[in-house]
Amino acid sequence: MIALTASALLTPQDRIEGPILLIEDGLVAGVKSRTSAEIPKHARVVDFADGVIAPGLVDLHNHGGAGHDVMESNSNALTAIESHLLVHGVTGYLPTTVTAPIDKTCEALQRLADAVESAGKPGYSPSRARPLGIHIEGPFLSPVRRGVHPPKDLLAPSIATFNKLWEASRGHIRLMTIAPELDGAMEVITEAIKRGVTVSIGHSDADLKTARAAIDAGARHATHTFNAMRPFLHRDPGIIGEVLTDSRMTADIIADGVHTDPSVVKLFLHAKGPEGAVLITDSTAATGMPEGHYSMGDFEFDVKDGKCVANGVLAGSVLTLDQAVRNSMQFAGWNLQNALTAATANPARVAGLRNRGSLATGAVADLVVMDSAGRVQKAIVSGQIA
């Protein structure tokens, strides 16, 4: 048994001063306060002094980092990406595909399914974040709001194409971004939900009525709100109006001050609140790397002044999730507890990861230790202290 001690422990519901967090067999075995309990005599004690213990960060939208893309065939790519993620407090993530020729996408899904299955077995390195499922972003996106997704590879939603993607992933798709206004989208939304996939509306030119219909059909999340979406107008609020006001919806945002102005991040966080807001990165291979020329899927982009750009259009980010936590504190005045909820419990809930994003007894012991300003001191995966 391992006993972790620190200055404080944060979950969405609680702040415990002087905590004792017990870990056994890679799971949380209990959380107590030193004022009311003693450390078990047989436990190995690891003290983080002035640190704050919280659930490990979970990134739902990650295309890569450390010079590598999640769709690469290079066997070392995920190792580099996951090592980089852990440094920034991310203990679990959904590798995210970008629109590409369907055969290439399926090949990537097969490799990612291998990675997800390997991560669930004993012996996975404690120095790497775990891939916990797959997010498919494309090919069911609006040509009008495609961003940098190649138009030639966009496909009309169909059960047949969804089946092909599903089979290639061996059922490991946890999140799917889709434009609900496309012909066939509602049928695919219904089918995906039947299979336990969380449907996220995004890269969409949907009006308010269509967005509401998708939510009525079971869509429950929105992808990088404001970006690659029909603009909000006060007499034509469109998809953004529905996303911000429908309490059934969670929604994510790229809180880097580049994709959305800090004032808009503040508006979003106040609209969705600590219960409905999710912080993501939409990070690319360029994350953690110098300025230069990089690739994502089947296209290339350049990075300069913190912006990833392909043909004048933003192409993902170089944001890290711990920086997104700190930005939400700065932009919106949120405290660390609320900011961490948007990067831990909420994304875990969106992806259906019932045993992560929590420090409840029996949860996987994925943890991050931060200082009071949200800077990462240590990340721990499955209770293994690397």
pLDDT given at position 299: 87
* CB-based contacts of 267, cutoff 8 Å, min separation 6: none
pLDDT given at position 297: 83
Model confidence at 13, in pLDDT bands (50, 70, 90)?
confident
pLDDT given at position 144: 97
Among the options 59, 69, 256, 282, which is catalytic?
Answer: 282
- Rounded Cα distance between 325 and 131, Å, is 21
pLDDT given at position 148: 95
Catalytic site residue 282? yes
Quick one: how many helices (H) and strands (E) in the chain?
A: 10, 24
Q: Which of 49, 231, 18, 273 is nearest to 144 (CA)?
A: 231
CB atoms within 10 A of CB 104: 15
The domains found in the chain, sorted by start residue, are: 57-356 (3.20.20.140)
Checking if the pLDDT of 100 tops 90, the result is yes
Model confidence at 75, in pLDDT bands (50, 70, 90)?
confident
Residue with tokens 């939603």: 157
Model confidence at 271, in pLDDT bands (50, 70, 90)?
very high
Residue with tokens 């709001």: 145
pLDDT digits (tens, 9 = 90+) for 175-211: 999 999 999 999 999 999 999 999 999 999 999 999 9
Query: 351 or 124, which is more confident?
Result: 351
* Mean pLDDT to the nearest integer, 29-58: 95
pLDDT given at position 303: 95
pLDDT given at position 80: 97
pLDDT digits (tens, 9 = 90+) for 307-342: 999 999 999 999 999 999 999 999 999 999 999 999
